């Protein structure tokens, strides 16, 4: 009799553990857009959503700055775990904030990024204006800006040969961008 009670207790605990694992709701991984100079858009939000129960709602709630959130439905891609949504283009200087909400038919709601107690956590990206520095014939950057054919790139420099538009993109925050990766302006000059 004692063994039967132990097995019953063990079976009950195992069933409870399996039930708890099944009740955890959808698992969601989000890849938000990165900072961009693109004002046309769209800005792609990608989510990988795995769930034991059918998904009844998957949406991005986005806003510019602290504006009113706009719901945008995530679209499931051909019987896969991949879901996509596209935020429309925004003007230079816009800071776009977003979060993702996913709900299954058992009532489990998952919000990403994970909520912070007392606050609303969001992903954010900004639309920045690239500033280009031109280079003189010797390959040195001219902080003064434009260099046309026949104009001096900087004081005492040789004339620019053919007006080079080659340069380094600089973010609004003053960080030079090297292939889309922010680089401290001091580091960029040292290289």
- No. of helices (H) and no. of strands (E), the chain: 2, 15
Cα dihedral angle (67, 38, 32, 122), rounded to 10 degrees?
-20
pTM here? 0.59
131: region left, alpha or beta (phi > 0 left; psi from -120 to 50 alpha): beta
Question: How is residue 116 annotated by DSSP?
Answer: B
Residue where the block lists tokens 């026949």: 150
Q: In what order do the strands lie in the sheet with 27-31?
A: 27-31, 43-50, 82-87, 75-76
CA distance 30 to 120: 16
CB 98 within 8 A of CB 45: yes
Residue-wise pLDDT tens for the chain (191 aa)? 555 545 444 445 444 444 444 568 999 999 999 999 999 999 999 999 999 999 999 999 999 998 999 999 999 999 899 999 999 999 999 999 999 999 999 999 999 999 888 888 999 999 999 875 445 555 444 444 444 444 333 443 333 333 333 332 333 344 343 444 444 444 444 44
The CATH classification of domain 25-126, taken from the options 2.60.40.10, 3.40.50.1110, 3.30.160.20, 2.40.50.140: 2.60.40.10
Cis peptide before 42 (omega within 30 of 0): yes
Determine the length of the chain: 191
Measuring CA to CA, which residue among 65, 58, 64, 59 is closest to residue 41? 64
As annotated, the residues of the chain forming the CATH 2.60.40.10 domain(s) are 25-126
């Amino acid at each position: 009799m004692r063994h039967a009670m132990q097995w019953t207790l063990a079976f009950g605990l195992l069933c409870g553990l399996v039930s708890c694992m099944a009740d955890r709701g959808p698992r969601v991984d989000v890849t938000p857009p990165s900072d961009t100079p693109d004002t046309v858009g769209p800005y792609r939000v990608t989510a990988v959503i795995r769930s034991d129960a059918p998904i009844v709602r998957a949406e991005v709630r986005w806003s510019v700055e602290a504006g009113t959130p706009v719901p945008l439905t995530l679209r499931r891609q051909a019987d896969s775990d991949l879901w996509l949504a596209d935020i429309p283009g925004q003007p230079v200087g816009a800071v776009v904030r977003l979060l993702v909400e996913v709900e299954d038919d058992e009532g489990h709601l998952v919000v990403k990024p994970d909520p912070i107690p007392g606050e609303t956590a969001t992903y954010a990206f900004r639309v920045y204006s690239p500033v280009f520095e031109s280079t003189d014939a010797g390959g040195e950057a001219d902080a003064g800006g434009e260099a046309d054919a026949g104009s001096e790139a900087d004081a005492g420099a040789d004339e620019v040969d053919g007006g080079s538009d080659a340069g380094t993109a600089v973010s609004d925050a003053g960080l030079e961008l090297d292939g889309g990766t922010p680089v401290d302006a001091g580091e960029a000059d040292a290289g």
